[in-house]
Amino acid sequence: MWFLPVMGVGAIGVMVGMVCLVSQRKSLFGSLLSMEIFTLGVYIMIFSLVYSQSWLSSVCLIFLTFGVCEAALGLSVLVSLIRSVGSDYVGGLVLGHF
């Protein structure tokens, strides 16, 4: 029964990530960080469920791999945006410029 508090920590992480994602409207970097908090919360929930049920642990590695790929793609878009525009503010973008 130890996995219930860990599942609660994951649920709190998911909620904090969602609140931060909804509140971030200007900076792309802040949005990427809030998506990583969301991904980490879901990973904690999956890990506690897999560990408590003695399922196959490769599910956690697969989810973690997808999370890392998402972070790498987001970072590459952020670097491309900063190189072309000069900042990561979403409001300063012109549709034809990027």
Which domain covers residue 82, as residue numbers? 3-91
Closest CA to 32 of 77, 1, 65: 77
In a domain, residue 97? The reply is no
58's tokens: 């490769």
Q: Which two tokens stand for residue 12?
A: 């709190």
CATH number at residue 36: 1.10.287.3510
Residue 96 resides in a domain: no
CB 88 within 8 A of CB 71: no
68 found inside a domain: yes
Number of domains the chain contains: 1
98 falls within a domain: no
CB 67 within 8 Å of CB 35: no
pTM of the shown model: 0.78
Block means of pLDDT (10 residues each) for the chain, 98 residues, are 77 91 84 90 88 78 90 90 80 58
Task: Determine phi and psi for 32, rounding to 5 degrees.
Answer: -65, -40
Dihedrals phi, psi of 89, to nearest 5 degrees: -80, 125
